[in-house]
Structure 1
Amino acid sequence: MARILVTGGAGFIGSNLVARLLQQGHDVVVYDNLSRSGCDANVAWLNEIAATSAGTLHLVRGDVADFESLQRAAEGAQRIYHLAGQVAVTTSVKDPRADFEANALGTFNVLEAARLVADNPIVLYSSTNKVYGGMEDVGVVEEATRYRYAHLPFGVPETQPLDFHSPYGCSKGAGDQYVRDYHRIYGIRSVVMRQSCIYGYRQFGIEDQGWVAWFIIAALKSRPITIYGDGKQVRDVLFIDDLLDAYDAAIAHIDRTAGNVYNIGGGPENTMSIWAEFGPLLERLLGRTIPVTYADWRPGDQRVYISDIRKAERDFGWRPKIGVEEGVTRLFHWVRDNMHLFAHL
């Protein structure tokens, strides 16, 4: 089986991916600085998975900004999933240098390691819909519980002009474009996944990032919840298992996907407004009303973002299988049954 490097492999998406790769029998190197909340619990879980699977697990504690350390971890890798990075817009505004080093420099280092020491690798990069910016020129219509696009029935396509907004948008966007260009210039078999709101098991959400998980955790712990804006902002949401299926399919069709970018999210069929619609669903699961407070809109917060996922379906036959209510219910039950993991939040 393949030797695979997963940067950020102890995080939410990374740990779920590593568990799948171990169960598929691969030799997996997790490269992570373990700075995120929940990483230690995820590593313990991955060690349990490795003990009963055909794959092998190697943990390297390191930062993607440290090129020498990263290069050693990438030696001989046939596949690299680059998931590590700084993940919150608000954090990037507070500390833009750290955001740049984690996201822009970190991605450049991954690509250089792939070019110099890996074994003709496939590089899959976890990008973001934030590369499209606020999309102020796109018409939006306000409805009772949500906003919707006036003229994009399938959502935002990959042809939407890039408009990096916030240090986070700039750093992730720089990485996005470097990953594309390393295919054109150096022949690296790279794929960019511009991801929307991903949610699921082992997501230790915080107020600034991972909002679906954060609202569930906060509600179960009776923590205060603040809604920024009016709560009618719409996002397409994608359950973790569907995201990993997209990764698998893109890798399986690498002859077609190399050098391409894909919008990966729930698409028009899997959307909800962040509180006007999600709130009542969460209250039904919890069995009580949830008090919230409202605050001003945050900079760069889009009224609506929905991914047009038709290119992914055309190129590698992928569509989400898990609907919003099913996915939210799964995550709610997982958090409720594993509250010991959230004692620190």
Structure 2
Amino acid sequence: MSQRHRTVRKAPVAIVGGSGFIGSNLADSLLSDGKPVLVIDNFSRPGVEQNLEWLQRKHGSHLSVETVDIRDQSRVASALAPAKAIFHLAAQTAVTTSLLDPAKDLEINLKGTFNVLEAARQAGAPVVFASTNKVYGSLPQIAVREADDRYEPADDAIRANGVDETIGLDFCTPYGCSKGAADQYVLDYAKSYGLPTAVLRMSCIYGPRQFGTEDQGWVAHFLLSALSGRLITIYGDGKQVRDILHVSDAVAAYRAVLARIEDLKGQAFNLGGGPRNAVSLRTLLSEIAAITGRDIALHHELARTGDQPFFVADTRRIEAALGWRAHVPWREGVRDLASWLLRHRLQPLPEAQRYVA
């Protein structure tokens, strides 16, 4: 074949943890727009291969796949060498697992992120990193009062707008420490090396292609349990409040940040549903009972270490920077997820490992 007629493959966007819940939705969005995508994953979480098979059936040769554990520095560097941009979503995702095995949590979340950053520095590729609201700790400085079905802040501004990025970092639990340290490393690579990086501190993301467990993906876990007639364990009294964000809105935010990465480099943003999508566990369970048309069996345990009685993301900063906003109302989004689960995941799932790299 002559040089003139040879097909030149475009550099891919790499998604580390790309077979997971958010990663597979992000990959689908990019691939649907004709952008080549490289999925990097170790496929350790049962069921994520279904997400990969779905992507491969839908997008074929535009999708490349590398089986890599992010703890393996040389393999990470090699796999990411051709990437023009990197979304880093791989993590050990559960507080409980981090308490049981803090060494593995550290290796995956901090050393793994360091490996991704070094590979990105070698490749000259920007990085958008998935952080967590757990970097703010249990938020003891936010006084809450108890209402009928929820906790709410005593502070009027926080009650109206949520918790903003100035609240201050306060790492708690090994998971909070590993993700928080990784968060800071990502930001520092913009300062120290000029690498275009940005951080999204996520609240609770939910939607299709999610595997729900007690420790991660709790909206899907509640729905799956209710649809299957399984007992749901509530840690605490169920009045904890979170803002939930549909994955389609999360994907839009990730893509918007990458599109403006040179302007936003070195910055961290809260990403969640905001006050309009804030629900207590009790409120969500009531909605699920209405969706399923059946009573929900509940069991209560003590509140877990580091749990926040109230976290609602103040998203005004990312809205101002990008013109982004959450479009899917939480009731509509939860019904959408219930419909998807009925079609694709109603069979009881095996107990999932709570990490994916």
TM-score normalised to structure 2 length? 0.93
- How far is the alpha carbon of 1:342 from its aligned partner? 4.7
Show the 5 A alignment for 1:295-314: 295-314=301-320
Paired residue total: 339
Question: Are 2:139 and 1:130 aligned?
Answer: no
Unaligned runs of 5+ in 2: 1-9, 352-357
Cα pair 1:22 1:49 within 8 Å, conserved: no
% identical equivalent positions? 46
Match of 2:78 among 54, 59, 72: 72
The aligned counterpart of 1:139 is 143
Q: Distance in 2 between matches of 1:177 and 1:28?
A: 27
Deviation by residue 1:36-66 (Cα, 9 ceiling, x = unmatched): 1221111110111213xxx711111111110
Distance, in Å, in 2 between the alignment partners of 1:204 and 1:175 is 24
Q: Residue 94 of structure 1 corresponds to which residue in structure 2? A: 100
**The 10-residue stretch of structure 1 (125-134 or 56-65) with the greater mean CA deviation from structure 2:** 56-65
| CA–CA separation in structure 2 for the residues paired with 1:27 and 1:339 | 28
Identify the match of residue 240 of structure 2 among 228, 233, 242. 233
Residue equivalent to 2:299: 293
The equivalences for 1:230-309 within 5 A come to 230-274=237-281, 276-309=282-315
1:194 aligns with: 201
Over aligned residues, Cα RMSD in angstroms? 1.2
Structure 1 residue aligned with 2:3:
none
Question: Among 8, 22, 27, which residue is 2:31 paired with?
Answer: 22
Instruction: Pick the aligned partner of 2:153 from 138, 149, 155.
Output: 149
Q: Contact (CA 8 Å) 2:228, 2:346: kept in 1 or not?
A: no
Q: In 2 relative to 1, CA 263–343 (structure 1 residues): closer, same or farther, beyond 3 Å? A: closer
Cα-to-partner distance string for 1:169-188 (whole Å, 9 max, x where unaligned): 00000100000000011111
Structure of higher RCO (CA pairs closer than 8 Å, 6+ residues apart): 2
Question: Which of residues 158, 169, 175 is equivalent to 2:165?
Answer: 158
> Match of 1:186, as an amino acid?
Y
Partner of 2:333: 327
Going from structure 1 to structure 2, the CA distance change for 1:172 and 1:49 (only over 3 Å counts) comes to: same
The 2-side partners of 1:18 and 1:163 are apart by 32
2:208 touches 2:340 (CA, 8 Å); kept in 1? yes
TM-score (structure 1 length as normaliser): 0.96
4+ runs of 1 displaced by more than 6 Å?
none
Q: Return the alpha-carbon distance in structure 2 between the equivalents of residues 250 and 81 of structure 1.
A: 10
